[in-house]
Amino acid sequence: MIRPKLDPNFYPMIKAIEDFEAKVASEKPENRAKITIVVDRNGGYNYVYAYEGFRDGVNDALNYRMAERIAKTILWVCGGYKISIAGSKYIYENLKAAYAKEGARAFDEDFMSGVYEKPFEVVWLEENEIPEQKNASVKVGGFLKGCRIGFDAGGSDRKVSAVIDGEVVYSEEVVWNPKTTSDPTYHYNEILTAMKTAASKMPRVDCIGVSSAGVYVDNKIMVASLFIKVDKTKYGDYVKNMYINIAKEMGDKPIEVANDGDVTALAGSIDLNDNQVLGIAMGTSEAVGYINANGGINGWLSELAFAPVDFAEGAMQDEWSGDYGVGCKYFSQDAVIKLAEAGGYKFEEGLTPAQKLKVIQGLMEKDDELATQIYEDIGVYLAYTLPFYAKFYDMKHVLLLGRVMGGKGGNIVLDTCRKVLDSEYPQFKNLDISLPDESSRRVGQSIAAASLPADVE
Protein backbone atom coordinates (compact mmCIF):
# COMPACT_ATOMS: atom_id res chain seq x y z
CA MET A 1 0.00 0.00 0.00
CA ILE A 2 1.13 3.54 -0.81
CA ARG A 3 0.64 5.56 2.37
CA PRO A 4 0.06 9.30 2.75
CA LYS A 5 3.31 10.54 4.29
CA LEU A 6 1.65 13.01 6.66
CA ASP A 7 -0.97 10.45 7.74
CA PRO A 8 0.85 7.08 7.77
CA ASN A 9 -1.86 5.35 9.84
CA PHE A 10 -4.47 5.82 7.10
CA TYR A 11 -6.30 2.51 6.60
CA PRO A 12 -8.67 2.97 3.65
CA MET A 13 -12.05 1.29 3.73
CA ILE A 14 -11.35 -0.63 0.53
CA LYS A 15 -8.22 -2.19 2.09
CA ALA A 16 -10.11 -2.96 5.29
CA ILE A 17 -12.80 -4.75 3.28
CA GLU A 18 -10.20 -6.70 1.32
CA ASP A 19 -8.45 -7.74 4.55
CA PHE A 20 -11.79 -8.68 6.11
CA GLU A 21 -12.75 -10.81 3.11
CA ALA A 22 -9.40 -12.61 3.29
CA LYS A 23 -9.87 -13.36 7.01
CA VAL A 24 -13.38 -14.66 6.44
CA ALA A 25 -12.23 -16.83 3.52
CA SER A 26 -9.55 -18.39 5.72
CA GLU A 27 -12.19 -19.65 8.18
CA LYS A 28 -13.90 -23.01 7.96
CA PRO A 29 -17.27 -22.87 6.16
CA GLU A 30 -19.15 -23.55 9.39
CA ASN A 31 -17.61 -20.39 10.88
CA ARG A 32 -18.89 -18.17 8.09
CA ALA A 33 -22.32 -16.62 7.54
CA LYS A 34 -24.10 -14.53 4.91
CA ILE A 35 -24.75 -11.03 6.28
CA THR A 36 -27.38 -8.85 4.62
CA ILE A 37 -27.92 -5.14 5.30
CA VAL A 38 -31.03 -3.44 3.93
CA VAL A 39 -31.61 0.31 4.16
CA ASP A 40 -35.11 1.62 3.40
CA ARG A 41 -35.89 5.20 2.36
CA ASN A 42 -38.90 7.20 1.14
CA GLY A 43 -40.98 6.13 -1.84
CA GLY A 44 -40.61 2.42 -1.08
CA TYR A 45 -37.01 2.44 -2.36
CA ASN A 46 -34.22 0.53 -0.67
CA TYR A 47 -30.62 -0.65 -0.95
CA VAL A 48 -29.63 -4.28 -0.33
CA TYR A 49 -26.01 -5.22 0.47
CA ALA A 50 -25.06 -8.87 1.09
CA TYR A 51 -21.61 -10.26 1.88
CA GLU A 52 -19.94 -13.14 3.66
CA GLY A 53 -18.91 -12.52 7.25
CA PHE A 54 -18.30 -14.51 10.40
CA ARG A 55 -21.06 -16.40 12.17
CA ASP A 56 -21.97 -15.19 15.65
CA GLY A 57 -19.38 -16.20 18.23
CA VAL A 58 -16.49 -16.02 15.74
CA ASN A 59 -14.55 -12.73 15.72
CA ASP A 60 -17.64 -10.79 16.80
CA ALA A 61 -15.82 -7.49 17.34
CA LEU A 62 -14.41 -7.30 13.80
CA ASN A 63 -17.61 -8.70 12.32
CA TYR A 64 -19.64 -5.96 13.96
CA ARG A 65 -17.20 -3.16 13.18
CA MET A 66 -17.18 -4.00 9.48
CA ALA A 67 -20.98 -4.30 9.37
CA GLU A 68 -21.36 -1.00 11.24
CA ARG A 69 -19.06 0.82 8.78
CA ILE A 70 -20.86 -0.67 5.76
CA ALA A 71 -24.31 0.11 7.18
CA LYS A 72 -23.25 3.68 7.90
CA THR A 73 -21.87 4.04 4.37
CA ILE A 74 -25.12 2.85 2.80
CA LEU A 75 -27.08 5.17 5.07
CA TRP A 76 -25.15 8.23 3.92
CA VAL A 77 -24.90 7.13 0.29
CA CYS A 78 -28.61 6.40 -0.12
CA GLY A 79 -30.34 7.89 2.89
CA GLY A 80 -32.92 6.03 4.91
CA TYR A 81 -35.03 5.69 8.03
CA LYS A 82 -34.63 1.96 8.65
CA ILE A 83 -31.74 -0.50 8.74
CA SER A 84 -32.62 -4.20 8.58
CA ILE A 85 -30.12 -6.95 9.41
CA ALA A 86 -30.15 -10.64 8.50
CA GLY A 87 -27.54 -13.27 9.30
CA SER A 88 -26.17 -12.07 12.65
CA LYS A 89 -28.06 -11.35 15.85
CA TYR A 90 -24.88 -9.91 17.34
CA ILE A 91 -24.63 -7.30 14.59
CA TYR A 92 -28.35 -6.55 14.82
CA GLU A 93 -28.36 -6.06 18.59
CA ASN A 94 -25.28 -3.84 18.57
CA LEU A 95 -26.50 -1.75 15.64
CA LYS A 96 -29.85 -1.29 17.37
CA ALA A 97 -28.03 0.01 20.45
CA ALA A 98 -25.77 2.27 18.37
CA TYR A 99 -28.71 3.92 16.59
CA ALA A 100 -30.66 4.56 19.79
CA LYS A 101 -31.26 8.16 20.95
CA GLU A 102 -28.24 8.01 23.26
CA GLY A 103 -26.21 5.53 21.20
CA ALA A 104 -22.93 5.95 19.35
CA ARG A 105 -24.80 6.89 16.17
CA ALA A 106 -27.26 9.28 17.79
CA PHE A 107 -26.27 11.99 15.29
CA ASP A 108 -27.16 9.73 12.37
CA GLU A 109 -30.40 8.64 14.01
CA ASP A 110 -31.44 12.26 14.63
CA PHE A 111 -30.38 13.42 11.16
CA MET A 112 -32.22 10.70 9.26
CA SER A 113 -35.38 10.86 11.35
CA GLY A 114 -35.44 14.62 10.66
CA VAL A 115 -34.95 14.21 6.92
CA TYR A 116 -37.61 11.54 6.51
CA GLU A 117 -39.83 12.88 9.30
CA LYS A 118 -40.37 9.48 10.88
CA PRO A 119 -38.68 7.54 13.72
CA PHE A 120 -35.45 5.77 12.83
CA GLU A 121 -35.33 2.04 13.51
CA VAL A 122 -33.07 -1.00 13.28
CA VAL A 123 -34.94 -4.27 12.76
CA TRP A 124 -34.19 -7.99 12.38
CA LEU A 125 -34.87 -9.83 9.13
CA GLU A 126 -35.23 -13.55 8.63
CA GLU A 127 -33.52 -14.92 5.54
CA ASN A 128 -36.85 -15.43 3.75
CA GLU A 129 -37.84 -11.80 4.45
CA ILE A 130 -34.94 -10.16 2.57
CA PRO A 131 -36.49 -7.95 -0.13
CA GLU A 132 -35.39 -7.29 -3.68
CA GLN A 133 -33.61 -3.99 -4.24
CA LYS A 134 -35.83 -1.22 -5.58
CA ASN A 135 -34.09 1.69 -7.34
CA ALA A 136 -35.20 5.14 -8.46
CA SER A 137 -34.04 7.40 -11.31
CA VAL A 138 -35.21 10.99 -11.73
CA LYS A 139 -34.21 13.28 -14.60
CA VAL A 140 -32.69 16.59 -13.43
CA GLY A 141 -31.27 19.72 -15.00
CA GLY A 142 -29.80 20.39 -18.39
CA PHE A 143 -32.46 23.00 -19.26
CA LEU A 144 -31.12 26.18 -20.87
CA LYS A 145 -34.02 28.17 -22.31
CA GLY A 146 -34.75 31.69 -21.02
CA CYS A 147 -33.30 34.03 -18.41
CA ARG A 148 -32.10 32.02 -15.44
CA ILE A 149 -30.46 32.63 -12.09
CA GLY A 150 -28.09 29.99 -10.75
CA PHE A 151 -27.08 30.23 -7.10
CA ASP A 152 -24.46 28.14 -5.28
CA ALA A 153 -24.51 28.37 -1.48
CA GLY A 154 -21.01 27.44 -0.38
CA GLY A 155 -19.88 27.44 3.22
CA SER A 156 -17.21 30.10 2.67
CA ASP A 157 -18.53 31.99 -0.33
CA ARG A 158 -21.73 32.35 -2.29
CA LYS A 159 -21.71 32.30 -6.08
CA VAL A 160 -24.40 33.47 -8.45
CA SER A 161 -24.68 33.43 -12.23
CA ALA A 162 -27.05 35.10 -14.68
CA VAL A 163 -27.62 32.81 -17.68
CA ILE A 164 -29.53 33.66 -20.86
CA ASP A 165 -30.32 30.77 -23.21
CA GLY A 166 -27.33 28.83 -21.91
CA GLU A 167 -24.86 31.74 -22.11
CA VAL A 168 -23.40 33.14 -18.89
CA VAL A 169 -23.77 36.92 -18.91
CA TYR A 170 -22.66 37.51 -15.32
CA SER A 171 -21.03 35.61 -12.45
CA GLU A 172 -19.81 36.72 -9.06
CA GLU A 173 -18.33 35.14 -5.96
CA VAL A 174 -18.81 36.81 -2.55
CA VAL A 175 -17.34 35.75 0.80
CA TRP A 176 -19.93 35.17 3.53
CA ASN A 177 -20.15 33.45 6.92
CA PRO A 178 -23.31 31.31 7.09
CA LYS A 179 -21.84 28.58 9.30
CA THR A 180 -20.84 30.96 12.08
CA THR A 181 -24.00 33.08 12.06
CA SER A 182 -26.93 32.22 14.33
CA ASP A 183 -29.46 34.71 12.91
CA PRO A 184 -31.16 33.14 9.85
CA THR A 185 -32.19 36.57 8.55
CA TYR A 186 -28.51 36.99 7.63
CA HIS A 187 -28.70 33.95 5.36
CA TYR A 188 -31.97 35.14 3.82
CA ASN A 189 -30.69 38.63 3.06
CA GLU A 190 -27.38 37.41 1.62
CA ILE A 191 -29.12 34.95 -0.71
CA LEU A 192 -31.71 37.52 -1.76
CA THR A 193 -28.97 40.08 -2.47
CA ALA A 194 -27.19 37.60 -4.73
CA MET A 195 -30.42 36.82 -6.58
CA LYS A 196 -31.23 40.50 -7.11
CA THR A 197 -27.70 41.20 -8.35
CA ALA A 198 -28.01 38.46 -10.98
CA ALA A 199 -31.51 39.64 -11.90
CA SER A 200 -30.20 43.15 -12.56
CA LYS A 201 -27.98 41.77 -15.34
CA MET A 202 -30.90 40.33 -17.36
CA PRO A 203 -34.05 41.77 -18.94
CA ARG A 204 -36.20 39.44 -16.83
CA VAL A 205 -36.04 36.34 -14.62
CA ASP A 206 -37.81 33.19 -15.79
CA CYS A 207 -36.65 30.76 -13.12
CA ILE A 208 -34.11 30.12 -10.36
CA GLY A 209 -31.88 27.12 -9.70
CA VAL A 210 -30.09 26.59 -6.40
CA SER A 211 -27.13 24.38 -5.51
CA SER A 212 -26.71 24.07 -1.76
CA ALA A 213 -25.08 21.72 0.71
CA GLY A 214 -27.59 19.68 2.66
CA VAL A 215 -30.75 17.67 2.15
CA TYR A 216 -33.74 19.07 0.28
CA VAL A 217 -37.23 17.67 -0.21
CA ASP A 218 -39.63 19.57 -2.50
CA ASN A 219 -37.28 22.58 -2.35
CA LYS A 220 -37.52 22.61 1.45
CA ILE A 221 -34.38 22.76 3.59
CA MET A 222 -34.52 19.61 5.70
CA VAL A 223 -30.93 19.60 6.99
CA ALA A 224 -28.12 21.97 5.95
CA SER A 225 -24.74 22.74 7.49
CA LEU A 226 -25.15 26.39 6.45
CA PHE A 227 -27.53 26.74 9.39
CA ILE A 228 -25.44 24.81 11.91
CA LYS A 229 -25.38 27.77 14.35
CA VAL A 230 -29.10 28.49 14.07
CA ASP A 231 -31.11 27.29 17.07
CA LYS A 232 -33.17 24.33 15.88
CA THR A 233 -36.17 25.58 17.83
CA LYS A 234 -36.10 28.69 15.63
CA TYR A 235 -35.98 26.75 12.35
CA GLY A 236 -39.69 26.52 11.80
CA ASP A 237 -41.02 27.33 8.37
CA TYR A 238 -38.72 30.35 8.08
CA VAL A 239 -35.60 28.27 7.55
CA LYS A 240 -37.27 25.24 5.99
CA ASN A 241 -38.99 27.37 3.32
CA MET A 242 -36.24 29.96 2.88
CA TYR A 243 -35.53 29.31 -0.80
CA ILE A 244 -39.25 29.05 -1.56
CA ASN A 245 -39.89 32.38 0.16
CA ILE A 246 -37.00 34.06 -1.66
CA ALA A 247 -38.40 32.86 -4.99
CA LYS A 248 -41.72 34.45 -4.04
CA GLU A 249 -39.99 37.72 -3.19
CA MET A 250 -38.25 37.58 -6.58
CA GLY A 251 -41.68 37.68 -8.23
CA ASP A 252 -42.99 34.21 -7.45
CA LYS A 253 -40.52 32.61 -9.87
CA PRO A 254 -40.24 28.83 -10.40
CA ILE A 255 -37.37 27.46 -8.34
CA GLU A 256 -35.53 24.15 -8.14
CA VAL A 257 -33.20 23.39 -5.21
CA ALA A 258 -30.70 20.52 -5.39
CA ASN A 259 -27.89 19.17 -3.27
CA ASP A 260 -24.61 20.75 -4.38
CA GLY A 261 -23.05 17.34 -4.95
CA ASP A 262 -25.70 16.41 -7.50
CA VAL A 263 -25.17 19.77 -9.19
CA THR A 264 -21.43 19.06 -9.36
CA ALA A 265 -22.22 15.82 -11.18
CA LEU A 266 -24.74 17.60 -13.38
CA ALA A 267 -22.11 20.19 -14.35
CA GLY A 268 -19.82 17.36 -15.39
CA SER A 269 -22.54 15.53 -17.29
CA ILE A 270 -23.42 18.67 -19.25
CA ASP A 271 -19.77 19.45 -19.99
CA LEU A 272 -18.89 15.86 -20.96
CA ASN A 273 -22.15 15.19 -22.77
CA ASP A 274 -22.17 11.81 -21.02
CA ASN A 275 -23.62 10.06 -17.98
CA GLN A 276 -22.34 7.90 -15.09
CA VAL A 277 -20.65 10.93 -13.56
CA LEU A 278 -19.58 11.13 -9.93
CA GLY A 279 -19.02 14.72 -8.86
CA ILE A 280 -16.92 15.50 -5.79
CA ALA A 281 -16.76 19.07 -4.52
CA MET A 282 -14.00 19.63 -1.97
CA GLY A 283 -14.63 22.86 -0.10
CA THR A 284 -15.87 23.61 3.40
CA SER A 285 -16.87 19.96 3.47
CA GLU A 286 -17.12 17.11 0.96
CA ALA A 287 -20.14 17.25 -1.33
CA VAL A 288 -20.87 14.36 -3.67
CA GLY A 289 -23.44 13.78 -6.36
CA TYR A 290 -24.08 11.28 -9.10
CA ILE A 291 -25.69 11.24 -12.53
CA ASN A 292 -26.58 7.65 -13.38
CA ALA A 293 -26.47 5.76 -16.67
CA ASN A 294 -29.96 7.07 -17.53
CA GLY A 295 -28.91 10.70 -17.09
CA GLY A 296 -30.87 11.01 -13.86
CA ILE A 297 -30.26 10.96 -10.14
CA ASN A 298 -30.98 7.96 -7.90
CA GLY A 299 -32.81 9.92 -5.25
CA TRP A 300 -29.90 9.24 -2.88
CA LEU A 301 -28.52 11.63 -0.29
CA SER A 302 -24.88 11.08 -1.38
CA GLU A 303 -23.81 12.87 1.79
CA LEU A 304 -20.41 11.19 1.75
CA ALA A 305 -18.98 13.79 4.10
CA PHE A 306 -20.34 11.47 6.81
CA ALA A 307 -19.47 8.16 5.14
CA PRO A 308 -16.39 6.29 6.39
CA VAL A 309 -13.15 6.71 4.46
CA ASP A 310 -10.58 5.58 7.03
CA PHE A 311 -10.95 2.34 9.04
CA ALA A 312 -8.05 3.20 11.37
CA GLU A 313 -8.95 3.26 15.07
CA GLY A 314 -7.19 6.61 15.62
CA ALA A 315 -8.64 8.44 12.62
CA MET A 316 -9.55 12.12 12.95
CA GLN A 317 -12.91 12.89 14.57
CA ASP A 318 -15.58 14.98 12.87
CA GLU A 319 -16.83 17.55 15.38
CA TRP A 320 -20.40 17.63 14.03
CA SER A 321 -21.26 13.94 13.76
CA GLY A 322 -18.82 12.78 16.44
CA ASP A 323 -17.66 9.94 14.21
CA TYR A 324 -14.12 9.07 13.14
CA GLY A 325 -12.52 8.71 9.72
CA VAL A 326 -15.40 10.14 7.68
CA GLY A 327 -15.04 11.90 4.34
CA CYS A 328 -15.30 15.52 5.45
CA LYS A 329 -11.88 15.22 7.12
CA TYR A 330 -10.22 13.85 3.97
CA PHE A 331 -11.74 15.79 1.07
CA SER A 332 -12.20 19.35 2.31
CA GLN A 333 -10.33 22.35 3.65
CA ASP A 334 -10.20 20.48 6.98
CA ALA A 335 -8.04 17.83 5.28
CA VAL A 336 -5.58 20.49 4.13
CA ILE A 337 -5.41 21.98 7.62
CA LYS A 338 -5.08 18.56 9.30
CA LEU A 339 -2.20 17.54 7.06
CA ALA A 340 -0.48 20.92 7.37
CA GLU A 341 -0.51 20.69 11.15
CA ALA A 342 0.66 17.06 10.98
CA GLY A 343 3.60 18.35 8.95
CA GLY A 344 4.47 20.85 11.66
CA TYR A 345 2.96 23.99 10.16
CA LYS A 346 1.82 26.61 12.69
CA PHE A 347 -1.02 28.83 11.56
CA GLU A 348 -1.49 32.34 12.91
CA GLU A 349 -4.01 32.62 15.72
CA GLY A 350 -7.55 33.60 14.79
CA LEU A 351 -7.57 32.42 11.17
CA THR A 352 -10.77 30.83 9.88
CA PRO A 353 -10.53 27.45 8.10
CA ALA A 354 -11.03 29.22 4.74
CA GLN A 355 -8.15 31.60 5.55
CA LYS A 356 -5.92 28.69 6.56
CA LEU A 357 -6.64 27.01 3.22
CA LYS A 358 -5.63 30.21 1.42
CA VAL A 359 -2.35 30.24 3.34
CA ILE A 360 -1.49 26.73 2.14
CA GLN A 361 -2.63 27.56 -1.38
CA GLY A 362 -0.30 30.56 -1.31
CA LEU A 363 2.57 28.30 -0.29
CA MET A 364 1.61 25.89 -3.05
CA GLU A 365 1.92 28.62 -5.66
CA LYS A 366 5.55 28.94 -4.52
CA ASP A 367 6.03 25.16 -4.84
CA ASP A 368 6.52 24.80 -1.10
CA GLU A 369 7.60 21.27 -0.14
CA LEU A 370 5.07 20.80 2.69
CA ALA A 371 2.20 22.19 0.62
CA THR A 372 3.11 19.83 -2.21
CA GLN A 373 3.09 16.89 0.19
CA ILE A 374 -0.33 17.91 1.54
CA TYR A 375 -1.89 17.75 -1.91
CA GLU A 376 -0.08 14.53 -2.77
CA ASP A 377 -1.53 12.96 0.39
CA ILE A 378 -5.05 14.06 -0.53
CA GLY A 379 -4.43 12.42 -3.93
CA VAL A 380 -3.52 9.19 -2.09
CA TYR A 381 -6.70 9.46 -0.01
CA LEU A 382 -8.73 9.85 -3.20
CA ALA A 383 -7.04 6.98 -5.03
CA TYR A 384 -8.00 4.51 -2.30
CA THR A 385 -11.46 5.97 -1.78
CA LEU A 386 -12.69 5.87 -5.39
CA PRO A 387 -12.60 2.03 -5.53
CA PHE A 388 -14.68 2.01 -2.34
CA TYR A 389 -17.18 4.49 -3.79
CA ALA A 390 -17.30 2.30 -6.92
CA LYS A 391 -18.99 -0.41 -4.83
CA PHE A 392 -22.04 1.88 -4.78
CA TYR A 393 -21.69 4.13 -7.84
CA ASP A 394 -21.20 2.86 -11.41
CA MET A 395 -18.72 5.48 -12.61
CA LYS A 396 -17.28 6.36 -16.01
CA HIS A 397 -16.25 9.88 -15.04
CA VAL A 398 -15.16 11.58 -11.82
CA LEU A 399 -15.31 15.36 -11.78
CA LEU A 400 -13.39 17.20 -9.06
CA LEU A 401 -14.60 20.67 -8.04
CA GLY A 402 -14.41 22.98 -5.05
CA ARG A 403 -12.04 25.46 -3.48
CA VAL A 404 -9.53 22.81 -2.37
CA MET A 405 -9.04 21.82 -6.01
CA GLY A 406 -8.14 25.35 -7.06
CA GLY A 407 -4.66 26.34 -8.20
CA LYS A 408 -1.61 24.09 -8.47
CA GLY A 409 -2.78 21.87 -5.63
CA GLY A 410 -5.73 20.52 -7.61
CA ASN A 411 -3.46 19.28 -10.37
CA ILE A 412 -1.21 17.55 -7.82
CA VAL A 413 -4.22 15.80 -6.24
CA LEU A 414 -5.32 14.62 -9.68
CA ASP A 415 -1.87 13.46 -10.84
CA THR A 416 -1.17 11.61 -7.58
CA CYS A 417 -4.56 9.94 -7.61
CA ARG A 418 -4.03 8.66 -11.14
CA LYS A 419 -0.55 7.30 -10.35
CA VAL A 420 -1.71 5.47 -7.22
CA LEU A 421 -4.77 4.04 -8.97
CA ASP A 422 -2.62 2.79 -11.86
CA SER A 423 -0.33 1.07 -9.38
CA GLU A 424 -2.83 -0.29 -6.85
CA TYR A 425 -6.10 -0.67 -8.79
CA PRO A 426 -5.30 -1.07 -12.51
CA GLN A 427 -8.88 -2.20 -13.12
CA PHE A 428 -9.79 1.50 -12.88
CA LYS A 429 -7.32 2.58 -15.58
CA ASN A 430 -10.17 3.65 -17.87
CA LEU A 431 -11.90 5.74 -15.22
CA ASP A 432 -11.88 9.36 -16.43
CA ILE A 433 -10.89 11.69 -13.57
CA SER A 434 -10.75 15.36 -14.45
CA LEU A 435 -10.70 18.95 -13.32
CA PRO A 436 -12.69 21.63 -15.09
CA ASP A 437 -10.95 24.89 -15.96
CA GLU A 438 -10.19 27.28 -13.11
CA SER A 439 -13.26 29.50 -13.52
CA SER A 440 -15.56 26.47 -13.70
CA ARG A 441 -14.00 25.07 -10.53
CA ARG A 442 -15.10 28.21 -8.72
CA VAL A 443 -18.47 29.11 -10.23
CA GLY A 444 -19.35 26.02 -12.31
CA GLN A 445 -21.93 24.84 -9.80
CA SER A 446 -23.89 28.09 -9.91
CA ILE A 447 -23.97 27.89 -13.72
CA ALA A 448 -25.15 24.27 -13.66
CA ALA A 449 -27.68 25.20 -10.98
CA ALA A 450 -29.25 27.65 -13.42
CA SER A 451 -30.17 24.66 -15.63
CA LEU A 452 -32.12 22.87 -12.87
CA PRO A 453 -35.65 24.24 -13.42
CA ALA A 454 -37.55 22.88 -16.41
CA ASP A 455 -37.95 25.23 -19.35
CA VAL A 456 -40.67 27.80 -18.82
CA GLU A 457 -43.03 28.19 -21.74
Q: What is the pLDDT of residue 438?
A: 55
Please tell me the predicted confidence (pLDDT) of residue 15.
Answer: 98
Distance CA 88, CA 390 (A): 26
Q: Would you state the pLDDT for residue 37?
A: 98
pLDDT surpasses 80 at 149: yes
Q: Mean pLDDT, to the nearest integer, of 417-423?
A: 97
- Which CATH number, 3.20.20.20, 3.30.420.40, 3.90.79.10, 3.60.20.30, labels domain 137-311+318-457? 3.30.420.40
pLDDT of residue 265: 84
- Classify residue 133 by its DSSP letter: P
Can you tell me the mean pLDDT for 313-319? 92
pLDDT at 77: 96
* pLDDT value, residue 372: 98
pTM: 0.85
For position 119, what pLDDT does the model report?
95
Identify the pLDDT of residue 398.
94
Q: What is the pLDDT of residues 168-196, one digit of tens each?
A: 999 999 999 998 999 999 999 999 999 99
Distances (CA, A) of 199 to 61, 147, 246, 254, 281: 58, 9, 13, 14, 26
Amino acid code (one letter) for 118: K
State mean pLDDT over 314-322: 92
pLDDT of the residue at 309: 97
The pLDDT tens digits of the residues spanning 108-123 come to 999 999 888 899 999 9
| Average pLDDT of the residues of the chain | 92
For residue 143, the tally of other CB atoms under 10 A from its CB is: 18
Cβ atoms of 224 and 212 within 8 Å: the answer is yes
Q: What is the pLDDT of residues 38-56, one digit of tens each?
A: 999 988 999 999 999 999 9
The predicted model gives 304-310 an average pLDDT of: 96
Residue 50 to residue 46: CA distance in whole angstroms: 13
Which tens digit of pLDDT belongs to each residue from 212-262? 878 887 898 988 888 888 887 776 778 999 999 999 999 999 999 988 778
In the chain, residues under CATH classification 3.30.420.40 are 137-311+318-457
pLDDT score of 444 more than 70: no
For 143-156, what is the mean pLDDT? 91
- The angle that helices 369-389 and 407-424 make with each other, rounded to 10 degrees, is 50
State how far the Cα of 234 lies from the Cα of 39, in Å rounded to an integer: 31
